[in-house]
A and B are shown apart, each in its own frame.
Chain A
């Protein structure tokens, strides 16, 4: 009996006495512990469920990326990639870019790391990456580091923007990350290869001296040294190739035809089976190649085979000896030959947008001995655009007008499948036609003009593997409503007044019935 009483006492004490307060503390601590445990588990295993669109999810790495990177990681188990944000985790301004990076970390556990460095607290940290980007690195950049290369990507590069409204159209995050990881992990450096054998700038020089470190770049082509320096700066290994004697090396990202005096060999009726030089260029562009730069000037003679190829494939050509001059807007003392280029107002494709994004329109670019280019706008070819125009006061053949002096053509093309059959892999192929060889020379690149900045911007794009494997962009669903003001008002009245009023009426009836019952 006494024992029972004691038990009840104890129980009561437990229920509302000092021990009750202890209970409350224990429950609160338990609650905190459960949440800490959940946070801890979340850091180890992804406890987030992505319910965005099934076909292409914003924050989930798709099967295409898993296939590509999975194979690479399988072949090289020690391959590590670091995705580095330049702000503390809680201050990263783009949650989508960060969230997708987390998804890469959890998908490729042990191969991809996520690191945060606060460059505001430690500005010197960003200095080691200064060669990666023309504009200063900010907290709005993410860096993808592999064993061999480093890529700095602005948050804006993760989106596709509508050129007219400036609104985000789609999220290209997976494509961007996967391409950057592939690029950062490539063992071999990309190559920039000059063609020789057609009287080009480097023709007749000791080509072996081109290979190797920058200091060994040939002095004889001294006016091209700043351009070659830029190539090295942007991570290219520089080589030259005579297409009659050798093949374009693999890993060539940029094939440069600089100031040719003689034409490339085309189809030979006497030896129809033999591969011509044009065939070699075509094979390169249809295969592993990504960029082709042909630089001509007002002294460049007619090059029927080369220009037929450029015209047919890319809609780009030039009018031989059609010099473009500008007395009103040119460098003083140049007699109008060294004219100033201007950025076109309407940018049509991602290539020109990306190359010209560092420029605000106030910069000046000089093009000496420029020749008139022609850009086929007839829709026979797709993807052509203009990077640089002359000013409206430019003159060519006695006619005043705006003439393109740096044009391009860019398209995504299926990559040849070495095993035959179809492939879902695509790579952007871009051909550039530059109407002034002096643009790349010391006169242009080592001056107060923005030629060097433009060249580096262009080389950065050329050095980027614009390759993807059926990775879809994730379209943002527009929330815009196609509703008239009248309809909006009508529905506002319905949802705000009519429906609640109906419920209120029921309430009144219930109240009245209760009152009278």
Chain B
């Protein structure tokens, strides 16, 4: 698994994909950061920035994972992987962890922007930390969805668009919480990614939300493993 992880991680930076992802991530995130904080000056709102960033993740993160498995399939190199002495689960998790590492590294670099807030204001770094932590877990979930869709097709574009669609549906579920039927609202709040993110915005690390993000990510990774297991023995 570690060999797959290393190979995949190296792959991100040997080819331009890793740099392009980083550049686009930093550009979009920087723009949102400027709009929500620097440009607003006295009405700066880091909470708004984080909220918009989640929507940006919905588009950016599938771009990182779209190639992970579909490209292997397209170039037939997956045969090599299938016959290698690593389990399918190990292969999927290795690729997933590589994309997660890239994402975490870019998120960390991106966080240097907050030094600007320190220079011109008095930011609450505890709230920033809790929001960033939650964003990391949300990103981890989105990457798992991306890996799953990448396992389904050899067309990277379809993998990306499929992931983006599913992620947007998962985000849009939140807007159903205005429904007055209480059990529907309760169910929506329970599954809504955004509703579970709320406590983090005011400085509460909600362990149940973290468990939710991790388990749902695990389900998507499991599904990806099932897809490959099926193909391996078909």
Contacts and interface: CB of A to CB of B under 8 A. Distances in A.
B216 interface: yes
Interface in B183-220: 185-186, 189-190, 198-199, 202-208, 211-212, 215-216, 218-219
Interface stretch (B9-17, B51-59, B95-103, B149-157): B9-17
Contacts of A31: 215-216, 218-219
Contact of A51 (B117, B126, B177): B126
B189 A90 contact: yes
A497 interface: yes
Interface stretch (A105-113, A284-292, A499-507): A499-507
Interface residues of A, number: 55
B23 A47 contact: no
A90 B182 contact: yes
A482 B226 CA distance: 54
Interface string B32-45: 01100111111111
Contacts of A492: 30-31, 34, 38-39
Dominant SS at the B interface?
Answer: helix
B26 interface: yes
For B23, B130, B216, the residue with the greatest tally of chain A CB atoms inside 10 Å of its CB is B23
Given A12-B233, A478-B121, A510-B16, A48 B30 contact: no
Contact of B207 (A48, A88, A95, A479): A48
A41 B117 CA distance: 38
Nearest to B185: A90
A95 B190 contact: no
A74 interface: no
A508 B19 CA distance: 9
Nearest to A41: B208
Contact of B206 (A48, A95, A485, A488): A48
B159 to A, nearest CB: 20
A49 interface: yes
B79 interface: no
A514 B14 contact: yes
B182 A491 contact: no
Interface in B170-184: 177, 182
Given A20-B229, A88-B182, A95-B198, A39 B208 contact: yes
Nearest to A53: B126
A432 to B, nearest CB: 39
A508 B226 contact: no
Interface residues on B, range: 35 or more
Interface stretch (A22-30, A185-193, A195-203, A225-233): A22-30
B27 A481 contact: no
A186 B33 CA distance: 51
B122 A510 contact: no
Contact of B215 (A35, A39, A488, A511): A35
B120 A48 contact: no
Given A90-B189, A495-B33, A501 B23 contact: yes
A481 B121 CA distance: 5
A483 B41 contact: yes
Given A27-B222, A496-B30, A507-B16, A49 B211 contact: no
A477 B122 contact: yes
Contacts of B20: 504, 507
Contacts of B123: 477, 479
Contacts of A514: 14-16
B234 interface: yes
Interface string A445-488: 00000000000000000000000000000000111111101011
Nearest to B29: A495
A502 to B, nearest CB: 8
B223 interface: yes
Given A28-B219, A50-B204, A503-B22, 12 more contacts: A27-B222, A35-B215, A47-B207, A48-B206, A477-B124, A481-B38, A487-B120, A500-B23, A500-B24, A507-B19, A511-B16, A514-B14
Closest 8 CB pairs of A and B: A507-B19, A495-B30, A500-B27, A16-B230, A52-B203, A492-B34, A503-B23, A507-B16
30 contacts: A16-B233, A27-B219, A35-B208, A35-B212, A39-B190, A39-B208, A42-B207, A42-B208, A47-B208, A48-B204, A50-B204, A52-B126, A52-B127, A59-B203, A90-B189, A478-B122, A479-B124, A480-B121, A481-B44, A482-B120, A483-B120, A487-B38, A492-B38, A495-B34, A496-B31, A496-B34, A500-B22, A500-B23, A500-B26, A504-B20
